Amino acid sequence: MSTSGSVSQWIERLKKGDSRAASRLWAHFHRKLLQVARRCLNGSPRRVADEEDLVAAVFQSFFQRIGDGQFSELSSREELWALLTTITDRKAVNSLRRQMSTKRGGGRVRGESALEGAGSDHDTMLSQLESGEPSPDLIAAVAELFTSLDDEMRRMVRLRYDGHTHEEIARQVNRSVATVERRLGLLRAQWQEELLG
Write the pLDDT tens digit of every residue in 23-48: 899 889 989 998 888 887 775 555 45
In the chain, ranges of CATH 1.10.1740.10 domains = 3-101
In the chain, ranges of CATH 1.10.10 domains = 116-196
The pTM of this model reads: 0.50
With contact defined as beta carbons under 8 Å apart, do 80 and 7 qualify? yes
Domain 3-101 belongs to what topology? Rna Polymerase Sigma Factor; Chain: A (1.10.1740)
Q: Report the alpha-carbon distance of residue 55 to residue 33 in Å, rounded.
A: 7
Write the pLDDT tens digit of every residue in 45-73: 554 557 888 888 888 889 889 888 898 89
Say how many C-beta atoms besides its own lie within 10 A of residue 27's C-beta: 9
Q: Which CATH architecture has domain 116-196?
A: Orthogonal Bundle (1.10)
